[in-house]
């Protein structure tokens, strides 16, 4: 069910931590899958969910690094979102356990990487951030519990680009920030469409902007570029009011667990609240809120169809 894109007055804000967002919520007996849940805000998400009693499964491209970082906190398995065979393998292993997923959090991703091609020549940011998660959720759909929540981590970076329908794979010239923007728009549209398709099972989906946080996500950015953007000075000191990783994970945890969102879905969230819909003609770069093209139902349905064609996976085919 899609709901009006307006703040609900949650009482939380930009400074809320993940632990505060889940305080008083008992997740005992719940199972969560958190992609990339071993680094940056993903690690803090895993800590908050396990702290509330959930069992967390962390599929990781770097399994050894994940096991070292988590140190027994969560169950670890292998997954490379840029490799559809790897996606299928993880899904098959999980389905074979017969367990149910109460919370799915698509946290893993790449940002502003050099031009890279994966699979059949797909642009890596779109493939990893969107298509990999699309295929994973569709393959895991038999295990998604009734009433589950699916969380898709987007970014305010979605302001950089709508879906480039005439050149989705950037075959006519690559721009790393436009590619990141398109991938983040795709993350929102995925949640919008899944929320509609999952209605029969009472499954709700949300997308979100976690905030600006200094994490390994910036690994592809040269220091000079971060200086030019005003994020850090020449010595590497931060110049902006970045969130801590604990604060950056708060909106994810709130989206996945808060009773304030009961019955809602298909929404874009930020700072532990529903974000406002930006006017069509706003030109302010980096403004709070969500671009209309990112929550457009027709665009969401079109992207779902394209994604199913590209990946060969659609749990809702024929519906």
> Known catalytic residues?
180
Residue 68 burial class via C-beta count within 10 angstroms: exposed 0-12, middle 13-18, buried 19 and up: exposed
Rounded to whole angstroms, the Cα distance separating 199 from 192 reads 11
Cα–Cα nearest to 140, from 77, 92, 102 = 92
């Amino acid at each position: 069910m899609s709901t009006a894109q307006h703040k609900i007055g949650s009482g939380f804000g930009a400074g809320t931590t993940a632990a505060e967002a889940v305080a008083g919520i008992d997740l005992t007996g719940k199972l969560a899958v958190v992609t990339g849940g071993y680094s940056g805000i993903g690690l803090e998400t895993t800590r908050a969910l396990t702290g509330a009693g959930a069992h967390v499964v962390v599929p990781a491209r770097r399994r050894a690094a994940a096991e070292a970082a988590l140190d027994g906190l969560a169950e670890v398995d292998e997954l490379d979102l840029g490799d559809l065979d790897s996606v299928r393998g993880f899904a098959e292993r999980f389905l074979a356990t017969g367990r149910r997923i109460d919370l799915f959090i698509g946290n893993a991703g790449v940002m502003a990487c050099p031009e890279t091609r994966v699979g059949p020549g797909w642009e890596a940011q779109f493939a990893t951030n969107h298509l990999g998660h699309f295929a994973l959720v569709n393959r895991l759909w038999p295990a998604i519990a009734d009433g589950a929540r699916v969380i898709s981590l987007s970014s305010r970076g979605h302001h950089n680009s709508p879906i480039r329908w005439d050149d989705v794979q950037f075959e006519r010239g690559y721009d790393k920030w436009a590619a990141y923007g398109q991938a983040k728009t795709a993350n929102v549209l995925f949640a919008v469409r899944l929320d509609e398709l999952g209605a029969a099972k009472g499954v709700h989906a949300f997308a979100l902007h976690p905030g600006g946080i200094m994490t390994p996500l910036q690994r592809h950015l040269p220091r000079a570029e971060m200086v030019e953007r005003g994020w850090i000075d020449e010595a590497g000191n931060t110049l902006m009011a970045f969130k801590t990783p604990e604060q950056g994970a708060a909106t994810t945890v709130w989206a996945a667990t808060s009773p304030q969102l009961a019955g809602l879905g298909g929404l874009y969230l930020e700072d532990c609240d529903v974000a406002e819909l930006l006017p069509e003609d706003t030109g302010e770069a980096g403004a709070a809120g969500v671009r209309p093209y990112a929550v457009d139902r027709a665009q969401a349905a079109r992207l779902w169809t394209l994604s199913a064609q590209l990946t060969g996976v659609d749990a809702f085919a024929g519906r």
